[in-house]
Structure 1
Amino acid sequence: MSKSAAGFFILALLSGILHLCLTQEAALTLPLIAFGVFGTLFVLALIVGRRIKFDPVLR
């Protein structure tokens, strides 16, 4: 896992926990939106990191 993917994972986790601590009802809050954005960026960072590290053996 790259450093950026780990950073986005931690940010998504913290914003998800903050959303659960702030509200008890199912409301659309800023931490919930941030959780979705950081979660998406986490998945994209994993995909991009995998493509960059791919090194086929050419013979």
Structure 2
Amino acid sequence: MSKSAAGFFVLALLSAILHFALAENTATTLPLVACGLFSALFVLALIAGRRIKFDPVLR
């Protein structure tokens, strides 16, 4: 996992925890929207990381 994917994963977790800590009866809050955005960016970072091939043999 790349550093950017790990960062987006942590941000998504933190915003989800913040949503559950602050919102009791509301359905949509700003931390929940941020959680969805960071989750989507996490998935995109994982996909982008898989397309870059790393050749460990130096020629």
Query: What residue number does 1:35 align with?
Result: 35
Partners of 2:50 and 2:8 in 1: CA distance: 16
Q: Structure 2: where are the runs of 5+ without partners? A: none
* CA-CA distance at 1:53 after TM superposition: 2.5
Query: What residue number does 2:14 align with?
Result: 14
Partners of 1:53 and 1:17 in 2: CA distance: 34
| CA RMSD after TM alignment | 1.3
Task: Give the TM-score, by structure 1 length.
Answer: 0.86
Name the % identity: 73
Aligned residues: 55
Task: After superposition, give the CA deviation of every residue in 1:4-58 in whole Å (9 maximum; x if it has no partner).
Answer: 0000000000000000000112421000000000000000000000001366xxx
Query: What residue number does 2:51 align with?
Result: 51
Task: Give the TM-score, by structure 2 length.
Answer: 0.86
